[in-house]
Amino acid sequence: MYITYPWLGKLIDIEVTPAELAKKLTMAGLETCLTDSPEPAIYADKILDVDLTPNRADCLSVKGIAREISALTGGRLKDDPFSLTETEAPAGEYVQISVSAPKKCLKYSARLIKNVKITDSPKWLSDLLKSVGIRPVNNVVDVTNYILWYEGQPLHAFDYRLIRGKNINVRLAENGEKFVTLDGKERSLTTQDLVITGEHESIALAGVMGGANTEVDETTQDILLESALFDPATIMKTSRSLGLHTESSHRFARGVDPEGVLPALERAAAMISNLAGGNVCKGVVEYRGKEFKNKLVTLRPERVNRLLGTNIERKEIISILETLSFSVNSEESVLSVTVPSFRQDIEREIDLIEEVARIHGYGNIGTTLPAAAMIQSDLPERILLEKELRGLLTAKGLNEAINYSFISDKDFFPYREKAENRPIVLKNPISSEMTTMRQSLIPGLLKNFVLNQKRGNLYPGLFEIGNIFIEESKKIDEKTLLCVAITPRIEKRLWGKGENDFFSLKGFLESIIKKLKLKKPALLKMESSKIFHPGKSALINIHGKQVGFMGELHPDFISGHDLTSPPLVLEIDLDKLCSLTGEKIKYTPLSRFPVVNRDLSLTIDSSIDCDTLISLIKERGGKILLGVTVFDIYEGEQIPEGKKSVACSIRFGSEERTLLEEEINAAYEDIFSYLNEKTGSTLREGD
């Protein structure tokens, strides 16, 4: 809310500079900064911009802020008197008010002002409005806006003759009722909305905006001036459902002062008759509703100090409350506090404690550390796992990415976790690129690849740790995944690096497994997938649990993505990974005898995979075989169709003695003939 010294000057004399005042207000919970007036030509000084929290409805006016300043500075509030002259004609002869929704319309009062002359406002008024960003309209509308700003009471002026009839009713709208508001827009209402109606039609959307059908303009002669009190939640609902936020709805939704309804009407009527020359008819036409009773709240001074950790004296507490216009009965040890009508936010003891703390000053509350028992903090397994993975993957050269959890509809469908999974869609997405909760981290990382390729960036790959969202039998489930995505080729230009292929990706998987001390994963062939290359992809199975999948993305799939070659991607469910227990470390004694390495180069059927070959070798090798590593696989030139060349290194050794050359040769020969017998493999020529 914008405010200036000339506005405040009507109610309080301020000794301090605007900068000092802004600081005082800020430190009392009314965050205030100095800014330029929206109309610097009219008001050249800095104005105060008070950013109010939703609980401080009482400060949505010059009067409210002046009250606050008075409490903070000790400055006395001044009267701003006015006088209202009525004519003999009683207003009741022209207007009657009835309220059919007394829970929603709490008070309704109106005055009739006849024979006004609608003109521009005098300069002092239009300047005052402009200085805080309100656009002057005409003398009558300007007075209602002035009072709203000054007293915090929203008013509305109807062109009386356009109402065509004397009975005014406040009721709930009918479902589907159409109403054209002052801004010229037709609104469709429901039974949640409150309307003011004349004898023929609705004339205002209560508390939010008047109707176009009764708008005051230069032809207007008689004014019906409304000052009312509406139920905050009702106004909030209407304002929200229609997307119509006005200065009036803003105040009603937060709660206006029930005791201010009439005084505001009187001051406005006086000003209008003064500025527009009208005759104010005798009496206020009103629906009084329930009589307002001030709230009574008890306060235990010792509770103030117990919660704040302070030693504020009882009389200090009382004096703080009194400067804020609370009246305090201190006969008993428990204080009995009467809340002024404008403080709708104060209902409980804790609300009063906050008031005391605020005025005492948060800065004056001593800093302590809790006197609580020592406890050991606890970190969830998955957080520890994430930390470990982050350390490992970054050490291996990858950078971590974080993508939005929502993706476009187009990106969602290919990456559904299961084909039958329905998307979880936002009702109010912020853009068409962010409509659907992701079920895979791949789309995000792919997008990052495209962006980085476009910008000519070189890098080995990215990883991301984040949640995916799945709806299963009406229940929404979240899983935390790790996704590693490495680039296929662009790495070459980086010094000393080769190409990435399926095995580079598998290297990442193996590092993770090793780090977590899990058993070697089983990779299973994936059923046909549109995303993955059929020959270079696999499901990852660890300790008998399927934890994820990996592979090169399908070239067809990638063709829609502006990427030069298909990235390699690995996705693992971290909650599942977490549930697996690593093996306990137990030291194996080292053999004191030498280890002998023998290479074996075979030409073998392409269909025989490494795992099979290695287990055949191990099967035959006996006690002296320590291990087998495949270090080269080659298919192509010089190798017959349907065959491949495999080179492996076999380690021989014993824990008890040095092996004899003949012994090793015999074992080697034996392994070879066994392989020949089982698989028809032959020694590769030249070896």
By C-beta, is 27 or 614 nearer to other proteins? 27
Cβ of residue 503: shortest distance to other proteins, in angstroms?
17
Residues 308-337 that bind other proteins (CB under 8 A): 308-310
Cβ of residue 344: shortest distance to other proteins, in angstroms?
11
User: How many residues of this chain bind other proteins (CB under 8 A)?
Assistant: 94
Cβ of residue 17: shortest distance to other proteins, in angstroms?
15
By C-beta, is 370 or 636 nearer to other proteins? 370
Determine if 460 is a binding residue for other proteins (CB under 8 A): yes
Cβ of residue 451: shortest distance to other proteins, in angstroms?
6
Among 138, 139, 202, 448, contact with other proteins (rule: CB under 8 A): 448
Q: Kindly report the number of other CB atoms within 10 A of residue 367's CB atom.
A: 5
Determine if 466 is a binding residue for other proteins (CB under 8 A): yes
Amino acid symbol at 101: A
CA–CA dist 464, 117 (Å, integer): 69
By C-beta, is 217 or 510 nearer to other proteins? 510
Determine if 411 is a binding residue for other proteins (CB under 8 A): no
Determine if 425 is a binding residue for other proteins (CB under 8 A): yes
Determine if 362 is a binding residue for other proteins (CB under 8 A): yes
Residues 247-286 that bind other proteins (CB under 8 A): 253-254
Using CB under 8 A, which of the segments 8-16, 100-108, 408-416, 457-465 binds other proteins?
Answer: 457-465
Provide the CA 241 distance to its chain's centre, in angstroms.
Answer: 20
Cβ of residue 27: shortest distance to other proteins, in angstroms?
5
Determine if 501 is a binding residue for other proteins (CB under 8 A): no
Cβ of residue 564: shortest distance to other proteins, in angstroms?
16
By C-beta, is 202 or 249 nearer to other proteins? 249
Determine if 450 is a binding residue for other proteins (CB under 8 A): no
Tokens of 462: 């990215």
By C-beta, is 35 or 319 nearer to other proteins? 35
By C-beta, is 236 or 639 nearer to other proteins? 236
Determine if 103 is a binding residue for other proteins (CB under 8 A): no
CA–CA dist 572, 541 (Å, integer): 10
Which DSSP state fits 386? H
Determine if 373 is a binding residue for other proteins (CB under 8 A): yes
Using CB under 8 A, which of the segments 1-9, 47-55, 256-264, 280-288 binds other proteins?
Answer: 47-55
DSSP string spanning 404-431?
-SEE-HHHHGGG-SSTTPPP-B-SS-SS
Among 478, 499, 632, 687, contact with other proteins (rule: CB under 8 A): 478
| The Cα angle at residue 251 between residues 249 and 254, in degrees rounded to 5 | 105
Q: Where are the alpha helices (DSSP H) in 481-637?
A: 502-515, 555-558, 574-579, 610-621
Q: Is the dihedral of CA 86, 119, 37, 257 positive or negative?
A: positive
By C-beta, is 61 or 197 nearer to other proteins? 61
* Closest CA relative to residue 257, chosen from 396, 93, 137, 107: 107
Among 17, 188, 327, 394, contact with other proteins (rule: CB under 8 A): 394
Angle between helices 349-360 and 314-323 (to 10 degrees): 90
What is the radius of gyration, based on Cα positions, of the chain?
40
CA–CA dist 319, 322 (Å, integer): 5
DSSP string spanning 66-85?
HHHHHHHH-PPBPP------
Determine if 375 is a binding residue for other proteins (CB under 8 A): yes
Determine if 439 is a binding residue for other proteins (CB under 8 A): no
CA–CA dist 438, 442 (Å, integer): 9
Q: Spell out the residues 6+ positions from residue 535 whose beta carbon is closer than 8 angstroms to its own.
A: none
Query: 3-class DSSP state for residue 328?
Result: strand
| Residue 600 contacts residue 470 (beta carbons within 8 Å) | no
Binding mask 174-213 for other proteins (x = CB under 8 A): ----------------------------------------
Cβ of residue 115: shortest distance to other proteins, in angstroms?
40
Determine if 124 is a binding residue for other proteins (CB under 8 A): no
Helical (H) or strand (E) element with 223: strand 223-230
Among 380, 535, 589, 686, contact with other proteins (rule: CB under 8 A): 380
Cβ of residue 116: shortest distance to other proteins, in angstroms?
35
Determine if 83 is a binding residue for other proteins (CB under 8 A): no
Residues 633-662 that bind other proteins (CB under 8 A): none
Dihedral (Cα; 389, 392, 398, 404), 10-degree rounding: 10
DSSP string spanning 309-331?
T----HHHHHHHHHHTT-EEE-S
Q: Are strands 2-3 and 46-51 parallel, antiparallel or unpaired?
A: antiparallel
Which DSSP state fits 201? S
| End-to-end alpha carbon distance in the chain | 88
Among 467, 581, 658, 673, contact with other proteins (rule: CB under 8 A): 467
Cβ of residue 504: shortest distance to other proteins, in angstroms?
12
Determine if 244 is a binding residue for other proteins (CB under 8 A): no
